[in-house]
């Protein structure tokens, strides 16, 4: 678990040690309502085996997790009458739960969610290509 955290809420809910409104459970994935939702019906979809963040999830488990993310995303409009969903993952920064979790948030046009308010920067001359090279090398391209 990341430093400064005491409890893995996902593992505790999965073990029945902490109450959670579980909406889906398989032998590899659990999904439950976020107790502090962006909008009502906000679901967290998580691998059952403990994994801190996306980069720690074994590659063969990505399809297992995202099939269930897709299933939840498809279910929310039917269940709640929303128009669509917002799907997101935080890794370390803004990750309040020390266990990989995918947010599936119900969305409706005009719901007031304005997106991210990240500061924007510009690349200096030559920086775009330099950053591209660094990232391509890191991913092995």
* Residues acting as catalytic residues: 101
Cα 80 to Cα 12, 73, 84, 89, 105: the distances in Å are: 27, 11, 10, 22, 11
What span, in angstroms and rounded, lies between the C-alpha atoms of 7 and 10?
9
């Amino acid at each position: 678990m990341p430093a400064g955290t005491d409890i893995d809420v996902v593992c505790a809910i999965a073990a029945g040690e902490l109450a959670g409104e579980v909406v889906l459970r398989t032998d590899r994935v659990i999904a439950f309502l976020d107790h502090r939702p962006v909008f009502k019906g906000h679901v967290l979809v998580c691998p059952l085996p403990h994994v801190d963040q996306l980069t720690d999830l074994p590659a063969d488990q990505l399809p297992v997790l995202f099939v269930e993310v897709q299933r939840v995303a498809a279910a929310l409009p039917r269940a709640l009458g929303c128009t669509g969903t917002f799907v997101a993952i935080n890794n370390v920064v803004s990750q309040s739960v020390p266990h990989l979790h995918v947010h599936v948030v119900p969305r409706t046009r005009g719901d007031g969610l304005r997106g991210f308010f990240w500061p924007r920067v510009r690349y200096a001359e030559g920086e775009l290509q330099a950053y591209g090279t660094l990232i391509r090398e890191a991913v092995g391209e």
